[in-house]
């Protein structure tokens, strides 16, 4: 079955997008990236330490992978916009994962500031992929603003809690059948990724679940398989849920 993932006109085979943070070593990260099958990775924009003499972090990434810079650490639209502009200048890419955080304990998004920043960045020609609360109305507003996809959270960033509101994702899928929905943040284990995909997500973005796993490469393989399994499960059309049993073997003809 041909099932390409197309995002802003670019075709991907993998529906898994992964991060580059929290790995114990560059070697471990590189191995996990290969195992994941991912074709797009996120990076963060940060002040250069004034004593920096080392090479660029980007040298540790497979050059074939699409780099998606993020605006992590920004608490208002203005900072996110400035960060996006800096990322575009340094990387010569229009792609940006827009993240405007509302508070440092939960890292939950500030949806209002996110929308404001999205409008400005879309007008400036950015391909804006916004991280936001899993809310249908907010998703509609972000799509109306010109975002080519929306990225609802499954649970707080780095929490590994899995899909906390499956109904919200299901409603979003049903009400926005043509939208590209990427579940971003909160996945902890492969079953979480599979559940999000079974609910109809088009792709999943994760970082900590792989980077903090005991064996990051093995977990990356597992996540790759889980995303594929969940996708196939969604496309296959699940059986109806029933409160009571429905026998798989014929009742008639059993010996008496």
Q: How far is the CB of 52 from another protein (least distance, A)?
A: 7
Residue with smaller CB distance to another protein, 9 or 125: 125
Per CB under 8 A, the segment of 85-93, 163-171, 214-222, 239-247 that binds another protein is 85-93
Task: Single out the residue of 108, 113, 43 nearest to residue 79, CA to CA.
Answer: 113
Find the binding residues for another protein in span 177-236 (CB under 8 A).
185, 205-208
HEC per residue, 99-129: CCECCCCCCCECHHHHHHHHHHHHHCCCEEE
Per CB under 8 A, the segment of 84-92, 119-127, 189-197, 224-232 that binds another protein is 84-92
Out of 4, 53, 97, 119, pick the active-site residue: 97
* Residue 56 DSSP code: P
Residue count, binding to another protein (CB under 8 A) = 37
* Residue 189 DSSP code: S
Determine how β-strand 5-7 pairs with β-strand 10-12.
antiparallel
Per-residue x/- marks for another protein, 4-33, CB under 8 A?
A: ---------------xxxxx-----x----
Helix (H) or strand (E) holding 141: helix 136-144
Token pair listed for 240? 């109806």
Residue with smaller CB distance to another protein, 163 or 187: 187
Q: Could you confirm whether 97 is annotated as catalytic?
A: yes
């Amino acid at each position: 079955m041909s099932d390409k993932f197309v995002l802003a006109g670019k075709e991907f085979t993998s529906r898994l997008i992964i991060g580059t943070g929290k790995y114990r070593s560059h070697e471990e990260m590189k191995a996990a990236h290969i195992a994941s099958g991912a074709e797009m990775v996120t990076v963060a924009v940060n002040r250069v330490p004034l004593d920096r003499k080392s090479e660029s972090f980007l040298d540790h990434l497979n050059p074939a992978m699409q780099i998606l810079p993020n605006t992590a650490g920004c608490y208002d639209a203005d900072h996110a916009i400035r960060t996006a502009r800096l990322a575009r200048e340094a990387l010569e890419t229009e792609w940006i994962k827009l993240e405007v955080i509302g508070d440092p304990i939960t890292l939950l998004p500030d949806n209002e500031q996110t929308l404001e920043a999205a409008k400005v960045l879309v007008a400036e020609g950015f391909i804006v992929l916004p991280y936001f609360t899993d809310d249908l109305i907010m998703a509609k507003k972000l799509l109306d603003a010109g975002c080519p996809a929306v990225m609802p959270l499954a649970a707080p960033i780095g929490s590994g809690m899995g899909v906390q509101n499956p109904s919200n994702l299901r409603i979003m899928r049903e009400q926005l059948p043509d939208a590209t929905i990427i579940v971003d943040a909160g996945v902890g284990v492969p079953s979480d990724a599979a559940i999000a995909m079974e609910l109809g997500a088009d792709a999943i973005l994760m970082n900590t679940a792989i980077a903090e796993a005991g064996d990051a490469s093995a977990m990356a393989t597992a996540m790759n398989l889980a995303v594929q399994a969940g996708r196939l499960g969604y496309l296959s059309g699940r059986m109806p849920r029933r409160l009571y049993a429905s026998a798989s073997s014929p009742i008639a003809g059993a010996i008496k």
